[in-house]
Amino acid sequence: MRAQLDSRKVFQTANYTFLIGISLLCILPFIHVLAISLSSKTAAAAGSVLFWPVGFTFKSYDYVLSKPAFVDALLITLKRVGLGTLINMFLTILIAYPLAKEVRDFKYRTAYAWYFVLTILFSGGLIPTYMIVNKTYLMDTIWALIIPGAVPVFNVILLLNFFRGLPRELEEASFVDGAGHWTVLWRILVPLSAPALATIVLFTIVGHWNSWFDGLIFMNRPENYPLQSYLQTVIIQQDLLRVASQSLDSLAEVSERTSKAAQIFMGALPILLVYPFLQKYFIKGIVLGSVKE
Amino acid sequence: MRSKRIKEMPLHLMLLPGAILVLIYCYGPMFGIIMAFQNFKPAFGFFRSEWVGFGNFTYISDLPSTFQVLYNTVYIALMKIVAGLVVPIGIAILLNEIGKTFIKRSIQTLIYLPHFLSWIILGGILIDVLSPSSGIVNRVLEGIGLPSVYFLGDNRWFPFTVVVTDLWKEFGFATIVYLAALTSINPNLYEAAIVDGANRWKQTWHITLPGMMPIIVLLTTLSLGNILNAGFDQIFNMYSPQVFESGDIIDTFVYRLGLVDAQFGPATAVGLFKSIVSLAFISVSYLLAYRLANYRIF
């Protein structure tokens, strides 16, 4: 008994150490980059920055925020997040409602469901999608970032399963009272689905904020790039092509590395601020989506 | 009788806008697949481009890099699938052993942070910390007397770097589902086991793991569908020409072939190959998930 208690203690200590170590591994790279973004050019180049800024300065942020390209890209992203989330949510709700009906209430329910689900199973691929977006005159407009993905089928499935879990008596009573589908959907089902909807809204916002590839291929002019596409060109492409940025050398306290670090951090900031508070919603949402009975 | 009272017309109307958008932007590209059998020229469009039968497919299979690309894709994807199943299960079991709710919560919050960020942000961070000259990882390696490694530029290292960094991004989030399965195990089972003299290890082996089995089986079968998804977003933002040999995958290959070199026909042909193989794997995985875990998507 005594030996068992001791080995339990050893295990607990090792377990705590291991898991705390793992969590540090997840957060330290971010802290390191944040520290670099707040350090002076010379300290960053000398490699003396670990997890605390050396030669503390906001110059890198001043520099980045003074670049019109960065600010314009940020505005485009905000526009896309707002418009895109609104349209995604509206269509998700509108599609999930009929598909949540039983076949005896809505004969074509299964046919429609397969019509939408097929698009997850099979896709035309990159090149034909590009051609269609091109042919429908969306190139270089904000709609190229919103319309092709306007129907998020996974979210529709999530919500329709949630609708099906709600007590049917509520809507039946409303139908008896003479309410139509539209009223039942918006007045009864939507308010009851607040937790599921909050989860989907969160994922939609994060998805739009993080999207970069559509901006890269559907925008011919870089001034139409949303933030993540813009960051792709300044942080990733620059580095991979080993192109040295000339314009920065003239600035005394900002280097390419510190300004990149500042841009990385600003691209992540909204998500860093929001996600800890939404934890309980998305845990509920993901469990609801994957383990259902 | 009830069905008579519920009108169906408004339901069709609600589905109409979504159905039209899906028709154009999901089914439209499926029609565009005919490009795979054409010498497609944008000026001539879908209808007047020259038909070449399976010419694009033979052209692709004659390219020297094609089979390397296919191999890279399956190799990286398989490693990701295995790591993405084993590690989150292990972490969930270990997290479950932590009694203090506050610490458990905090660890969870930290480990799913990377999941929410794009591969642009993470790629930028990784390029910085893994840099052979100034990156912090190599400075640590040198500090403890090891040679520095060019993680993103060395073909021997690149595939593993991709798998480990993908794991770093996703393991925390993947843990959520397993933790949920753990908390739904009936505590009476553990009490009975303790009465019977089972130690913690035996409890884990005989109660915890079997309790998680349904969800493990489900997620394993569903992950089969990813056999050709090695992760475009990640690799596109982490690779460079010097690691094409070990890191070029189907999706990055299609991108360069189609959108950079404007070889629309061959690129569509490769994309079609991927879609068909993926469809087969996804169908089998859904069928297995239905048979083994009684899973239905809707």
Tokens of A42: 């010379």
- Contact flag A283-B176 (C-beta cutoff 8 Å): yes
Dihedral of alpha carbons B22, B28, B33, B34, sign: positive
Which of A15, A26, A147 lies closest to B97 in CB terms? A15
How far is the alpha carbon of A66 from chain B, nearest alpha carbon, in Å? Answer: 21
Question: Which pLDDT value is given to residue B269?
Answer: 95
Cβ-Cβ contacts under 8 Å between A and B: the total is 265
In angstroms, the CA B73 to CA B68 distance is 9
Note whether A112 and A32 are same-domain residues.
no
Distance CA A144, CA A138 (A): 5
Provide the number of structural domains found in chain B. Answer: 1
Of B6, B18, B275, the CB nearest to A122: B275
Percent of chain B scoring above 90 in pLDDT: 64
Please state, in angstroms and rounded to a whole number, the distance separating the CA atoms of residues A92 and A116: 11
Query: Exposure string (b/e) for B158-182, b if CB count within 10 Å is 16 or more?
Result: bbebbbebbbbbbbbbbbbbbbbbb
User: Does B265 score more than 70 pLDDT?
Assistant: yes
Whole-angstrom distance, CA of residue A245 vs CA of residue A242: 9
The per-type count for chain A, helices as H runs and strands as E runs, is 15, 0
List, in sequence order, the alpha helices (H) in chain B: 2-5, 9-22, 28-31, 45-48, 55-62, 66-96, 101-111, 119-129, 136-143, 158-183, 187-195, 200-203, 209-223, 232-238, 244-247, 250-255, 264-293
**Per mean pLDDT, which range of A274-283, B119-128, B211-220, B280-289 is the poorest?**
A274-283
Note the pLDDT of residue A251. 59
Task: Read off the pLDDT band of B240 (50, 70, 90).
Answer: very high
Task: State the total domains in chain A.
Answer: 2
> Do A131 and A197 belong together in one domain?
yes
Residues of B in contact with A130 (CB under 8 A): 258-259
Buried b (16+ CB within 10 A) or exposed e, A228-251: bbbbbbbbbebbbeeeeeeebeee
Say yes or no: A123 and A156 in one domain: yes
pLDDT of res. A252: 62
Q: Tell me the pLDDT band of B44, cut-offs 50, 70 and 90.
A: confident
Q: Which of B151, B126, B271 is nearest to A123 (CA)?
A: B271
Closest CA to B212 of B170, B176, B184: B184
**Is B275 part of a structural domain of the chain?**
yes
Residue A222, domain extent: 68-240
Each of the 293 residues of chain A gets a pLDDT tens digit; together they read 566 678 888 888 999 999 999 999 999 999 999 999 999 888 888 888 889 998 888 989 999 999 899 999 999 999 999 999 999 999 999 999 999 998 888 999 999 999 999 998 888 889 999 999 999 999 999 999 999 999 999 999 989 988 988 888 888 888 888 889 999 999 999 999 988 898 899 889 999 999 999 999 999 999 999 999 999 998 888 655 544 444 555 556 678 889 999 999 999 999 988 887 777 776 666 655 554 43
Residue A141 in any domain: the answer is yes
Predicted confidence at residue A8, as pLDDT, reads 82
Classify residue A149: in a domain, yes or no: yes
B-chain residues near A32 (CB < 8 A): 128-129, 136
Distance, CA of A160 to CA of A97 (rounded, Å): 7
Of the three residues A210, A225, A240, the one that is the final residue of a domain is A240
In-domain check, residue A208: yes
Strand partners, B50: B39
- Please give the pLDDT value at position A245: 47
Q: Cβ(A231)–Cβ(B120) under 8 Å? A: yes
Residues A208 and A140 in one domain: yes
Give B14: exposed, middle or buried? Use CB within 10 Å, 0-12, 13-18, 19+.
buried
- Segment holding B205, helix H or strand E: none
Question: Min CA distance, A204 vs chain B (Å)?
Answer: 11
* A156 shares a domain with A89: yes
Reported as type and span, the H/E element at residue B38 is strand B38-39
Q: How far does Cα B38 stand from its chain's mean position?
A: 31
CB B121 within 8 A of CB A267: yes
Residue A51, helix vs strand vs coil: coil
What does the DSSP 8-state code read for residue A52?
S
| pLDDT attached to residue A244 | 46
CB contact under 8 A, A124 and B30: yes
Q: How far apart are CA A100 and CA A161, in angstroms?
A: 7
- DSSP per-residue letters across B73-91: HHHHHHHHHHHHHHHHHHH
Tokens, residue A254: 């900002």
CA distance A128 to chain B (A): 5
Claim to verify: residue A72 and residue A217 sit in the same structural domain:
yes
**Taking a C-beta distance cutoff of 8 angstroms, is the pair A182, A189 a contact?**
no
Strand partners, B51: B38
Domain boundary (A199, A217, A240) is at A240
**Residue A101 belongs to domain with CATH number:** 1.10.3720.10
Provide the shortest C-alpha distance from residue B115 to chain A (in Å): 10
Please indicate, yes or no, if residue A249 is contained in any of the structural domains. Answer: no
Same domain flag for A164 and A205: yes
CATH of the domain at B68: 1.10.3720.10
Q: Which helix (H) or strand (E) holds A111?
A: helix A109-121
Average pLDDT over residues B193-203: 87
CB contact under 8 A, B254 and A125: yes
Number of residues assigned to chain A: 293
> Is the pLDDT at B197 greater than 90, yes or no?
no
Residues whose CB falls within 8 Å of the CB of residue A162, separated by 6 or more in sequence, listed in order: A193, A196, A288
Distance CA A149, CA A152 (A): 6
> Who among B32, B113, B240 is closest to A240 (CB)?
B240
Closest approach of B76 to chain A, Cα-based (Å):
20
The yes-or-no verdict on residue B203 having pLDDT over 80 is yes
Tell me the C-alpha distance between A92 and A7, whole Å.
53
Q: Do B283 and A210 touch (CB under 8 A)?
A: no
CB contacts, 8 Å: A235 with chain B: 120, 123-124, 127
| Contact yes or no for A232 and B25 at CB 8 A | no
Minimal-distance CA residue of chain B relative to A49? B136
The tokens describing A43, both together, are 């300290």
The verdict on residue B26 lying in a domain is: no
B50: part of which helix (H) or strand (E)? strand B50-51
| CB atoms B22 and A151 under 8 Å | yes
Instruction: Kindly identify which residue of chain B lies nearest to residue A177, measuring between CA atoms.
Output: B5
Residues paired with residue B39 on neighbouring β-strands, in sequence order: B50
Q: Which residue has the tokens 């798998």?
A: B163
User: Between the CA of residue B69 and those of A28, B251, B291, what are the distances in Å?
Assistant: 34, 9, 33
Task: Identify the band that residue B252 occupies on the pLDDT scale cut at 50, 70 and 90.
Answer: very high
B233 contacts A272? CB cut-off 8 A: no
Any domain includes A253: no
CB B38 within 8 Å of CB B55 = no
A122 lies in a domain? yes
| Count of Cβ atoms closer than 10 Å to residue B132 Cβ | 15
Please report the pLDDT score of residue A285 as a whole number. Answer: 61
As given in the structure block, the two tokens for residue A87 are: 């349209």
Q: What number is the average pLDDT over the span B2-28? A: 87
* Domain span holding position B145: 64-293
On whether both A6 and A119 belong to a single domain, the answer is: no
pLDDT digits 0-9 by tens, A94-140: 999 999 998 888 999 999 999 999 998 888 889 999 999 999 999 99
Cross-chain CB nearest to B121 (options A15, A150, A267) = A267
Question: What is the distance of C-alpha B187 from the center of its chain?
Answer: 34
Q: How far is B194 from chain A (nearest CA, A)?
A: 13
Which residues of B fall within a CB distance of 8 Å from A42?
A: none
- Asked if B7 and A181 touch (Cβ cutoff 8 Å), the reply is yes
